[in-house]
Structure formats: C-alpha cells, structure tokens
Structure 1
Amino acid sequence: MLEEDIAPVLARLDAWYGANLAADKYVFNPPSNDADLDAFQQLVGLKMPNSYRQLYKWHDGENDDRWGQIYGLPLLSLKHAAADWKSWASTLAGFAGNRYAIPGGAWPKGAVDPAYINPRWIPLTNDGSGNHVGLDFDPWPGGRVGQVILYGRDEDVKVVLAESLGQFLEWIAGLLEGGNFRLSAAADEVVMRQFRLKEPRVDHFHEGARRILGAPGPFL
C-alpha cells in the first residue's frame, strides 16, 4: 500500500474541484519537485511513500487557511509541513522526549499510538489550532505503516481515518462525488470555513470524520 498509485483519484479530485470550487478562492500551489521532496525526507528521517511524492508532484499544497480543499482544511505545502513537524519536535524536546507526557487514547484500540507527540507522524493538513490529518509511520500492531490519522493539540484520542493515503483520498472523493458537502454559509452563520460536510452537519471536518466512522470524541 506504500507504493499505491494515486493518479486516478487525483484526477477525480481535479475534476470535482474544477467543477465545484471557486477558482479565485481555492488555489493550489504549483507542483513540488524531487529536490524539495528529498530535502523533506531528510528533515523528517523517513522515506516517503510513492503516493506522497505523487501528491506533492500534483500540487505543493495550498497557502490559505480558510479556503482549503479538504473540506476547508488546506493541504500543507512542504514548507509548512516541515515547519509544523519541527514545532512538534521542539515540543517533544521540551517534554524531555516523553511522548506520553500528556495522556491520550486511540481508536481503533491497538491500531495507533496514543501518544501526545510522535515524530513519525507527518502532517498533511492543519486546522489553525494545531490539529492535523497526517500520515503515521509508527503504527501499533493493529495498524498499518502509512495509515492516515487524526492527531494534534486537541485530539487526545487519535483516530485512524484510512489505511493509506490513497484510501483516504478515495474516501474524500467519494464523499464529494456523493454530494456530501456544503459550500456556503447562511448570512447569520459565523463560520471559519464555508466548505463543510453536509452530513453530519458540523463545522469542523475532524468532528464530522469521527462521526461518520463511529469513532469516539477527541477528549479523554
């Protein structure tokens, strides 16, 4: 699964985004290149899977926190992913390397490390409050290397969203193609991001993802 080909699902996402999102608001960066991807690998000390390199050769993320293309969450550029990873590494150093300084949980139990911080978690998105959808390269025995998880400052209970990056993107594409989205807010609504799930009717993708999958809430 680390060598999966995600080109077909990226084409589906391109088609959906092109048909549904305002091009002047939802703006991807140009593709990344091998040199930048190699530098990122060296920083985090991991060989990134083929799917990750495909993703970033598709687009090097996006820069706007309000108009992200993962249900309002921006795909991080390599530069921003590196900055977030280094910030977590600094926090871990402040805890003297103790990943469990702040208690946590996991769902499914035994699939993902219940740590507060793990340097082998690579952020894909950031909600602006230190919470991420990310890739997990240090799963527990019930999980898979490269699985996609929820983790972060407010995510006490880590959740497996998909067994791989490709499966995660297939899930997102299926939700969008199936009509499970909202792209606007009522005049009296105060929301950070207008691009949201239709069902469940929540404002934050993390909360909606948990409910769709039947996972517990974020707090212990």
Structure 2
Amino acid sequence: MNMDRSRRNLLISGSIFGACAIGGLLPSVCAMRQLTRKPAMSPNAIPKRPEGEAKPMLDEDIAPVLARLDAWYAANLAADKYVFNPPATDAQLDAFEHLVGFRMPRSYRQLYKWHNGENDDRWGHIYGLPLLTLEHATADWKAWTSTLTEFGGNRYAIPGGGWPEGAVDPAYTNPGWIPLTNDGSSGHIGLDFDPWPGGRAGQVILYGRDEDVKVVLAESLGQFLDWVARLLESGNFRLKAAADEVVLRQFRLKQPQVDHFHEGARILLGAPDQFL
C-alpha cells in the first residue's frame, strides 16, 4: 500500500500540461508499465458483462447548481489564480460530439457553455482539479483510444475492478469514458457512456492509470456537481497548506484529510481503494 500511495504522491513533481508535451502518449506509456507490474489478464479471465440494460441518461438543467458554484467560487477562491476560460461554442461542442461518437447530455453542453474548462493544473476549481478544455479532453480521449488499439482492442488486458459491482465496466480503458478532469497522472473524473446494467448512462466515474478499481461517483453530471457544491457549502475544504507541507494543489478536502480528491471521494462514498 505504501508503494502504491507513493505513486500518487509523485503528482507533486508532475503537471497535466507537461504530460501533453509528450504528445498525449502518457496513457500508453503507463499501460506498458502496468503490464510489467502485474500479469496481463488471460482471455478466459475477461469478465462477463451482466445481462440487462443500464438505466437511461438523465435530462437535467444544471443552471441552478452552476449558479451556486459561481457564488461559492467568487466568495472563496482568489480570482487571480482560479481562472476559468470563456464559454465553448456550439460548433466546438458539436465537433467534440462527432469525434467521440456520443451525444452529450444537456448538462454537459450547459457546463461547457458556462466555461470551456481552465488552463492551470494547479489551481483547479474541483478541489484543485481543473475542468478540462474541450481541446484537452479531446487529446486525453484520443490518447486512451490509442492505448486500447495497442492492446489489440482488449480493454481488459490489465486487470481491473468496478464499484458498485455491476454498475461500471471493470476495464483498464473504455472509449465510452469521456474525461472531465485530469490529475496530471492520467487519472480522470469522467462521464461513462458505456455503463454496465447496474449503472446509468452518463454516470460520473473515476478511471485512469492508477484507478484499478473504477468507481461511480454519481448517477449524472448534475448530481456530481451538486455533491461538490454541497461539500463546499458545508465547509469541507482547505485552501492553504501548512508551512511544512509540500503539495501540488492547496485546494483540498478538509475531511477526510487527504491530498487528492480521488482518494477523498472514495473514502466519503465508502468505495474500495483504487489499487487491486
């Protein structure tokens, strides 16, 4: 466990945009390292998808929760450090949908017509994690798609798990996962358009390089943003690091007292650790 946690702590010396500088190949490189760390899954061990259909995507109006987040951010975050981009255009959103092959929910288009992400990977608005621009989301999605191609299309080449069981594909990667954030180490919060029957289309999940066990954070984008807003409004946040702390991001959860929102989210939800 200590060795696994140390891998996550290496984020302190990393950067989202440093990863992009190597041509978006980080997931592929990391996948090769994963294969040397653990044996590849044999064809006979590939998990069988349960029978049935996932629940349909929710149709949500997230304007109220975006207004709550706007108000909280304006009152609590330094405007010179936490800076959103201008809204995305319909043409940009249409192009993104065409690329990934999924029609985004109304909530997604509302989110990106609010802001087209942000450019600083140290001062992100989701507990230090930046909302990706459509351009960066495109690069990350393409990188994971390339990784899957290198695996010969076998999304289970590296063993994984899912929580709750039967709700999310326990794959290493899936082209139906659309990234919303990137923690600088190919770890993502994203939308899931290929859920297992126990889940819901458009659910929000944790996935990525060090997220062996994929976790459903919320049934929808609106529910996820509402959860984040409620955490912030309840006072569950830290905005400063102690004098002797070395951290990548100062904006973190207060309880549990962890440095990475992914880890804190798992604890808050009662989900398993990210490593198998």
- Per the normalisation by structure 2, the TM-score is 0.79
More helix by share: 2
1:20 is the counterpart of 2:81: no
Structure 2 unaligned runs (5+)?
1-56
1:202 is the counterpart of 2:258: yes
Indicate the SS of the match to 1:171: helix
Q: Is the 8 A contact 1:67 1:74 kept in 2?
A: yes
1:180 matched residue in structure 2 = 236
Q: Identity, % of aligned pairs?
A: 82
TM-superposition CA deviations, 1:5-24 (whole Å, max 9, x none): 00000000000000000000
1:129 matched residue in structure 2 = 185
Greater relative CO (CA pairs within 8 A, separation 6+): 2
> C-alpha displacement at 1:2, in angstroms?
3.2
Q: Is the 8 A contact 1:139 1:145 kept in 2?
A: yes
Indicate the SS of the match to 2:214: strand
> C-alpha displacement at 1:171, in angstroms?
0.1
2:153 and 2:58 mapped to 1: Cα distance? 28
The count of residues paired between Structure 1 and Structure 2 equals 220
> C-alpha displacement at 1:86, in angstroms?
0.3
1:152 matched residue in structure 2 = 208
Q: Within 5 A, what are the aligned runs for 1:72-91?
A: 72-91=128-147
2:220 matched residue in structure 1 = 164
Indicate the SS of the match to 1:27: coil
1:93 matched residue in structure 2 = 149
Indicate the SS of the match to 1:122: strand
- Deviating beyond 2 angstroms after TM superposition, the runs of 4 or more aligned structure 1 residues are none
Q: Is the 8 A contact 1:2 1:50 kept in 2?
A: no
Note the aligned Cα RMSD (angstroms): 0.5
Structure 1 unaligned runs (5+)?
none
Indicate the SS of the match to 2:171: coil
2:166 pairs, out of 106, 110, 121, with 110
2:90 and 2:178 mapped to 1: Cα distance? 18
1:51 matched residue in structure 2 = 107
